[in-house]
Every structure is written in C-alpha cells, then in structure tokens.
Amino acid sequence: MTSVNTAPQPVRPHALPAWMITALACACQFMVILDSSIVNLALPAVREELGFTPTGLAWVVNGYLLTFAGFMLLGGRAADLFGPRRMLVAGLSLFSVSSLVAGLATAPQVLVAARVAQGVGAAMMAPATLAVINTSFTEPNARAKVFGAWSAAGGVGGMAGAIAGGAITTGLSWRWVFLINVPIGAVLIVVALMAPAGTRTARRESLDLTGAVTGTAGLAALVYGVMQSADHGWTSVPVAGPVVAGLLLLVVFGVVQARLAARPMMPLRLFRARGVAVGNGMLLLFGAIPIAMWYFTSLFLQNVLGHSALQAGLGQTPAAVTFLVIARWAAPLLPRTGVRPLVLAGSACFLAGFGWLAQAHPDSGYVTGVLGPTLLIATGIGLTFPTLMAAATADVAEGDAGIVGGLATTASQVGGSVGLAVLATVAGARAASEAGASSSPAALATGYDLVFLIAAGLGLAIAAASMLLPRHRRD
C-alpha cells in the first residue's frame, strides 16, 4: 500500500516545485479534454475545405474519442512499466506531432489518421498525469488539492472547447484548432522532462501482450459499436456486431488477467481495494452526467430557446466557473470528511438540478429555466468528480499508480461514450413520439427533459453506490 508521509513537506524532493507539477498535470488534462470538443464548431469549415462526406466527417471527432478510450488501460500500464514521466513525454510528443499533421492536412484521410494518433497520445498522457500526481504528492491534503485542480482543468477544457472552437475558426482558420497545440505541447514537454521520474513496476518486466491486445481491442470495439448507434438501431449489425465482439474480447481479457498472464497488464488484485472497485463503478455511472449537463443543455439552448452556438457556449460559462470554484473548494475537505459525504452532497445537487432542468420548455427564460439548475448541477460535478477520482486511485502501490489512473479515466470516458449514445437515442425517440413533430422546439424539449430525468436517476444510483465505500478513516 502507498505509505502516507505525515511530515509537513507535501511533495517529494525533485527538480520542480509543487505548483509547477500541478500546473503540468492540469495543462495536460486541459489539452486532452479540450481536443475532444474544440473541433465540433470547426466541422463545417473542415468539410467545405477538405471535401468530407457526412459520414466521414464524424470520424474527425470519433477517431479521437475511440482511440482515447480504447488505449487508456494500455497507456496506464505502460506508465507503470516504463515510468510516468517517460510516458507523459512520449504522449505529449505524439499529441503535438499529430496536431501539427492535422493542422496541415490536405486530405480527409490524413486528418482522420492524425486525429486517431492524437487519441493515442491523449491515452498515454491522461493516466501518466494521474501517476505523476500520485507519486509526487503523498500527503493527503496536498494530493486532494491537486486532484481538485486536475478535475477542474478537465471540466474547463471541455467547456472552453465549445467557445474557443468557434472563435478560432471564425477569427483565424479551422487549422489553428489543431496547430495551437504545437507550441503549448513543446513547452509542456520541456517541463515534463524536469518532473519526477516516478516508480517503474519492474525494470525487467515485459508488457502483457495478450492482455494489451484483448483489452485495447475490446474497449475500442465496444466504444465503436456504441458510436454507431447514432445512425443505426441498437439491434442492427453495425451496432450489435462490434458491441458483442467488444464484450467477448473483454471477457477474454478478464480470463487472461485472472488465469493465464504471468504478469498481467491489469492485475485483478487491484479490485480487492474496495475504493478501486466501487470508485470505478461510480465513475462509470458518473460519465453520463457531464454529458447530460454540457451537451444536452447546449442543444436545449440552441434548438429550443433559439440561441446561437456562441451564445450557448457563453450561456454555460457561469456553470463552468462554478464547477472550477467548487472543485477547488471541495478538494481540501476530502481528507477530513472522506468520500461519502461529498458524494451524497453532489448527488443531492444532481437530483435537484436535473429535476429543475427537466421542467424547462420553449417559453422558459434563460435565468430561471437554465442558469439556476445548471449552477446546481455544476456544483454537484465539482463535489463529485475529484472525489470519485481520488477514491478510485487511492490505497494502491506506487508501481500500480499508472494502471489504476488509466482504469479510472477509462471508466469515466466509457461511461460518457455509452451515456451519450443511449441518451441521444432516448431523446430522439421521445421527440419523435410527440405527434411526429420531432424537430419542433416543443417536441425536442420533451426529449431533452427525459434525458435530464434519467441523469437525476443516475445521481441517485451514485448516492446508493457510495454506501458500499469503506468508512472514512483519518490519516
């Protein structure tokens, strides 16, 4: 188990001060999440200049999300085997180079390939940043504060993407949506090279190739199949085929890890820690909540209330600021209160906020119909997300920090991908049932309202799952 240092110094001695390690981890997380959303508003310009087909254009987004989710476990285990700093530098390098290729792309195939490579780089970076945090900050208060900042950086990155994508595309070019990553990535690589190296699991240990192939292919197939549900029915071959194949591969992955691999990629002994097992289950449920908040509220503002894309982004800015403030404020409370009280408080905010938001209709005003409930929901996300990440990555050996970080990020990412597909299907079906007028603001509002009610139910499920967590004990 990771030992707890009770000395006043919160960070191990190394070349970088604590604030710079925190800034490095937050900047990497910001970039990773930013690139999952910043391209959305640039897609029309991309399609016009490069000649994408409608189906092909979707892969500018899906290519990134697919490899990001699919390669996360592999990236986490690689951080343990080869060291988190080495993997962070490698991930940043791949991410920056592929961003340059994307920004200079002159053919659709080149841009999609670059986005796929970006996703692999992001899958290397995200668990490595968590491993850097876990191996650098051993004092509970210091670690909790950094988790809060890291979580807030991701949330703000997702929100900033909705605004920055439109602004950059309008003011400069869609190419700068990608090219802006290059100078930022170069600076972060220099900083990462000075970060603590962290602990490698075993310097002579090789990667579990069978586990890597089955685990990565299983996750990728599952996420790919779920992504197809937006255009095909859940029982259709394009959806059911990859989903079933992905689930079967994940079953094989579990058997390999439990019985066949001498040195498994994801040791199942990690799930003996109740925080890891329950925390990842809660993150899987939680993944759909930010989707319901940011994605469907943006659609409600545009399709029901008639706001422009930029107005919708600005309309969500107060919630993003609230999330940032609450995540930073709640983090220092975690070592004193434990996980359960913060999760229950966050779940109460989800229940109240989504319940309120589900009452919105075409005649609702922005302040009373959207702003009020989204501030409540953002408060819940700020209380819950860093808390769940801390719970899911606590009480593990330092040499397992990378794979546990990758597992936690994968749970959240897969939960979000599946949640988006399911909620979009539910919203579309409910809107279509409204006298066949599925595109009218009133019909669309009924679909979004149902999504918000489901999200409230997920908040209740997370609260119930928190009862399975071990009681808080003071360090």
Per residue in 428-454, pLDDT tens?
778 877 655 556 888 888 888 999 999
How many other CB atoms are found less than 10 A from the CB of residue 19? 11
Each residue's pLDDT tens digit, 232-246: 777 888 888 888 998
The model's pTM is: 0.71
Tokens of 464: 């119930």
Residue 474: predicted pLDDT: 41
Q: What average pLDDT does the segment 334-351 reach?
A: 86
Q: Check whether 352 has a pLDDT greater than 80.
A: yes
All domains in the chain, ordered by first residue: 13-198 (1.20.1250.20), 268-475 (1.20.1250.20)
- Half-sphere exposure (CA, 13 Å, Cβ side) for 64? 25
Inform me whether the pLDDT recorded for 403 exceeds 80.
Answer: no
Q: Based on C-alpha coordinates, what's the Rg of the chain? A: 21
> Cα dist. 357→313, 354, 411 in Å?
17, 5, 26
What are the backbone dihedrals phi and psi of residue 281, each rounded to the nearest 5 degrees, phi first? -65, -40
Confidence of residue 99 (pLDDT cuts 50, 70, 90): very high
Q: Please write the tens of the pLDDT for every residue from 412-427.
A: 877 877 787 788 778 8
User: What tens digit of pLDDT does each residue of 119-162 get?
Assistant: 889 888 888 887 777 777 767 677 777 777 777 777 677 667 76
At residue 24, does pLDDT exceed 70? yes
Which residue from 389, 326, 322, 440 is spatially nearest to 134, judged by alpha carbons?
389
Residue partners of 424: CB distance under 8 A and separation at least 6: 229, 230
